[in-house]
Amino acid sequence: MKGWDGKDIRVRAKILAWGKNDEEARKLGRSVTIMAKDYTLRAESSEPGELGWAVSYEVFVPRNMPLTLRTLNGGINLSDLLGPVTFEAANGGISLVNVGGSVKGRTVNGGVKIKLAGTKWVGEGLDVETQNGSITWDLPKNYSARLFAATTVGSISAGKLPVTSSATLQKVVTATLGQGGAPLRAVTTKGSIKLTQL
């Protein structure tokens, strides 16, 4: 999901199919149909059997468009958006690049990658969680925000930022960066956290 300066929504879909041979894979790929209705994308195949297929979407939306995203098997990549955005993923990683606004979401099985730009978070803040997955978080050295990162089972690498322990969460990083600002929260239950100020 990418924010852009246009006023409309554009979608690119890529269908991947595999089978016992090329002919089976092509047949399965041709059987997949993608439907769009009420801002919902759905892919289905008319071919039964043990063959496999998947669809990935590249969606361009206006930067300030409110979004609610859900995926069962697959990751969610967000870039250049100003929200508000809410998302849920069951089996898939999360990538957040140059986002702002109100961003809230979680994944059950998957890592979280956060890469921020500029000097501060523009908007309400960030609240992201994963149950089983590591978190990598890159932000500029001169970034201003109120930062909170925690893991229950895992290590934290945070450079010069202090890592403490609490009664409920084994390892915690909490810091006011620069002039403070919006709250940015990233938490994992089982996974390591690497926070880098670039």
Statement: residue 149 has pLDDT above 90: yes
**Model confidence, pTM:** 0.84
Cα gap 154→139, rounded to integer Å: 21
DSSP conformation letters of 49-74: SS-EEEEEEEEEEETT--EEEEEEES
pLDDT at 44: 87
Tell me the average pLDDT of the chain: 90
Task: Give the pLDDT band (50/70/90) at residue 17.
Answer: very high
Which pLDDT score, from 0 to 100, does residue 49 have?
58
Residue 167, pLDDT > 80, answer: no
Please provide residue 173's backbone torsions phi and psi, each rounded to the nearest 5 degrees.
-115, 120
| Residue 24: per-residue pLDDT | 87
Q: Enumerate the β-bridge partners of residue 109.
A: 91, 132
Per-residue pLDDT of 51-61, as tens digits, reads 689 898 899 99
Give the count of beta carbons closer than 10 Å to the beta carbon of residue 48.
7
- At residue 169 the predicted structure's pLDDT band, cuts being 50, 70 and 90, is low
Residue 50 clears pLDDT 70, i.e. is over it: no
Q: What is the pLDDT of residue 186?
A: 97
- The mean per-residue pLDDT over the stretch 55-72 comes to 92
List the chain domain ranges.
Answer: 1-62, 63-198
Task: Decide: 193 and 137 in contact? Cβ < 8 Å.
Answer: yes
Higher pLDDT, 74 or 123: 123
Name which residue leads in pLDDT, 197 or 39. Answer: 197
pLDDT at 83: 80
